[in-house]
Amino acid sequence: MPSTRIAELAAQIQDNTAKVDHYLQSRSLPSPSFHEDGPVDFQIEDEEIQKARETALDSSLELHQLLLGPAMCLRPLNGVSLQAIYKYSIASHVPIHGTITFASLAHKCSTTTSLSETDLRRIVRFAIAHHRVFTEPRTGHVAHSAASRKLASDANARAGLGYMFDEVWQAFAHTVAAREAFRGSDEPNRSGWSLSQRTDRPVWEHYAAHPAMAARFAASMSAFSNGLGLDPAFLTNNYPWSSIHNTNDTTNTTTPPHPPTVVDVGGSRGNISIALASSHPTLHLIVQDLPPMIAGAAASVPLHLASRISFAAHDFFDPQPVVAADVYLFRNIFHNWSDGHVVRILRATVPALRRGSRVVVNDYLLPERGSVGPGREREVR
């Protein structure tokens, strides 16, 4: 009997999952679990095992879709329960390592807004079924899963959830309308986001007038910057930072050169600069972003790094004020802008460059269609 695609996929899942499981067990690493005390991040450092994990995920996705069938694949997943969990701060009212009844949880959530026990029960049970957020260990009692515990204990994770639902999903819903209204414009104030927020300002100008939104965006970027494939270690470990030397004092051989200076353009709360300063003790870093983005950010820099990391307000469409730095770093900046706007950013940087200055771009590269697995293909598209 010839092998079918679903049988082939099942075999791939079994084989590659066994590789990941052996790797975790051999290194005494925790096995994946949604238990409240389960790991929320993977610690796979072996490239071959990471590939096995990705293959198992890709095969699982394809098998799920095949067994679901084309008609059901046309029904998008409803994420409104997660939106409600963010809006009503539900995770923060569930005790760590304990349970709470739906009635008591609804009462706690209703101190700031009206939320009935009936609606709360629907929200939580939907989240359990679809997202593995929360558990119901016995009927009528709510406890944390690893995912909901992450929301309860990590302010950046909560910010990321709010940003996705209050801004990103709203922009998705208005994207087609924006295409119709603005006829292909690539201006940042003519987009689905602009329509959803009812503003004619570009996003950064809107944030400047709404500091709470700006702070949430900055926190969410901190949460997302450590996702799979976005770990700062890829940048800190794989660019030759040790080859950077200050080029400003080449004519003066009697005075020791100044430490190399890296300008982290659009660096938000400075997470990447902190990682670079921690890994490379010779670097001095200047984090630039709009005032709402960097407000209060210096307070979160570890004391032993504070002398080497500073913050400065700067709009990267304006001329770069730091002249003759050794590196101008643009991490995850350009993918947010059309080609014309990226050219504007670079042109604003050029006058500050001197011989030996480097422009380092750490950003997404869109792979050729079909050159990566289905999971990665979905992510990049």
Same domain? 21 vs 104:
no
pLDDT in tens, 50-74: 999 999 999 998 898 888 887 777 6
Average pLDDT over residues 288-310: 93
What pLDDT sits at residue 194?
A: 94
pLDDT bucket at 255, cuts 50 / 70 / 90: very low
Q: Where do we find the tokens 């092998």?
A: 3
Same domain? 210 vs 102:
no
Q: Is the pLDDT of residue 257 over 80?
A: no
Query: Using CB atoms within 10 A of its CB, is residue 158 exposed (0-12), middle (13-18) or buried (19+)?
Result: buried
Same domain? 147 vs 210:
no
Lowest-confidence pick of 23-37, 38-52, 267-281, 308-322: 38-52
Closest CA to 123 of 164, 155, 79: 79
Distance from C-alpha of 140 to C-alpha of 378, rounded to nearest angstrom: 37
pLDDT in tens, 189-217: 899 999 999 999 988 889 888 989 988 99
Same domain? 237 vs 348:
yes
DSSP 177-241: HHHHHHTT---TTSSHHHHHHT-SS-HHHHHHH-HHHHHHHHHHHHHHTTSTTT-HHHHHHHS-G
Q: Is the pLDDT of residue 254 over 50?
A: no
Please check whether residue 379 lies inside any domain of the structure.
no
Take residue 170 and report the two structure tokens written for it.
């709203």
Q: Is the pLDDT of residue 274 over 90?
A: yes
Same domain? 281 vs 352:
yes
Distance from C-alpha of 259 to C-alpha of 36, rounded to nearest angstrom: 46
Q: What is the CATH number of the domain that holds 147?
A: 1.10.10.10
Q: Count CB neighbours of 122 within 10 A.
A: 13
Please check whether residue 377 lies inside any domain of the structure.
no
Q: Is the pLDDT of residue 365 over 90?
A: no
Q: Is the pLDDT of residue 364 over 90?
A: no
Distance from C-alpha of 349 to C-alpha of 123, rounded to nearest angstrom: 49
pTM comes to 0.72
Same domain? 87 vs 159:
no
What pLDDT sits at residue 112?
A: 65
The number of distinct structural domains making up the chain is 4
Please check whether residue 67 lies inside any domain of the structure.
yes
Same domain? 149 vs 164:
no
Same domain? 89 vs 13:
no
pLDDT in tens, 344-354: 999 999 999 99
Same domain? 329 vs 242:
yes
Q: Give the residue numbers marked as catalytic.
A: 335
pLDDT bucket at 361, cuts 50 / 70 / 90: very high
Per DSSP, the chain holds a count of helices (H) and strands (E) of 17, 8
Indicate if the alpha-carbon torsion angle 221, 223, 224, 227 is positive or negative.
positive
CB 307 within 8 A of CB 258: no
Q: Is the pLDDT of residue 239 over 50?
A: yes
Query: Using CB atoms within 10 A of its CB, is residue 145 exposed (0-12), middle (13-18) or buried (19+)?
Result: buried
Average pLDDT over residues 317-328: 96
Structural domain that includes position 47: 5-73
Same domain? 241 vs 351:
yes
Please check whether residue 238 lies inside any domain of the structure.
yes
Q: Is the pLDDT of residue 247 over 90?
A: no
